[in-house]
Structure 1
Amino acid sequence: MAEIKHEHEACKKTILAVHDAMDVLGGKWKISIVASLGFGKKRYSEILKDVTGISGKMLSRELKDMEANLLVNRYVIDTKPVTVEYELTPYGHKLKSVIKNLADWGNLHRKTIMGK
């Protein structure tokens, strides 16, 4: 009986942790933005090109939220016109393995479902 209770508690803790992660990374765009920045520092316009379908307004909102959650650093470079670059923080880089595993599963799923 103690083993079942321990498993139940472990399950609850796992689900809570997943909920916490999804609160930060949930939605349609954040995972794609992290994936884009996983390839290095990028300008706003480069991220906008990478993440097909996102609007400029939504990208701005998501980047601000990700900056508040310590996933992304924003750098303003004093050029004319001003250049703004984004990159993953060391904390944000911890998501790269999650993104790789998710991409690997997505490729497997595509092959499984579509045979491609």
Structure 2
Amino acid sequence: MISEEKEDILPEKKFDALMRRCSILILKDMFMGEKKSNDFLEMNPRISGKVLSDQLKNLEKCGYIEKIVVSTTPLKAEYHLTEQGRGLNRVLYELMVFTKTYIVSEEEYEILNENNLKKCFDFEDTTK
């Protein structure tokens, strides 16, 4: 039986974790600076607390994010992208550009401004 430590998770399971409900939204929000469960819920009101909790656990298990307890009484935690999670910056940047181009307008979502996207995803266009 294969252990499910972060480093032992099969590649297809890591990829599947990205395709699970709301995972991309959570990762996008983390690139935008959100760190707490309540922040994610506020940014994505259609996500239930249970779904969010499950997705955060799964993303952590796969090594994309890490949970850091910042206070024990009351219990407060923040989530941060790991090196592996930060490696998704180009993928998420391109998804956001696609969204801006084909799904919603920049006027609807100010964050889709190209300069904002490049800043959030720490992305420099190398095609120029």
TM-score > 0.5 by shorter chain: yes
Q: 1:20 to 1:64 in 2, by over 3 A?
A: closer
Give me the whole-angstrom Cα distance separating, in 1, the residues matched to 2:73 and 2:45: 27
What is the aligned partner in structure 1 of residue 4 from structure 2?
Answer: none
What is the aligned partner in structure 1 of residue 35 from structure 2?
Answer: 42
* C-alpha contact 1:73 1:87 (8 A) present in aligned 2: yes
Q: TM-score, normalised by structure 2?
A: 0.66
Please, which of 65, 88, 91 is the counterpart of residue 58 of structure 2?
A: 65
Q: Determine which structure has more spread, i.e. the larger CA radius of gyration.
A: 1
**Pairing 1:8-87 to 2, within 5 Å after superposition:** 22-40=15-33, 42-87=35-80
1:43 is displaced (CA, Å) by 1.2
Q: Which runs of 5+ in 1 are unaligned?
A: 1-16
What is the aligned partner in structure 2 of residue 95 from structure 1?
Answer: 88
Q: How many residues align?
A: 96
What is the alpha-carbon root mean square deviation over aligned residues? 2.4
Q: Which amino acid aligns with 2:75?
A: V
Q: Which amino acid aligns with 1:85?
A: E
Q: Which runs of 5+ in 2 are unaligned?
A: 1-10, 109-128
Give me the whole-angstrom Cα distance separating, in 2, the residues matched to 1:55 and 1:44: 11
Q: TM-score, normalised by structure 1?
A: 0.72
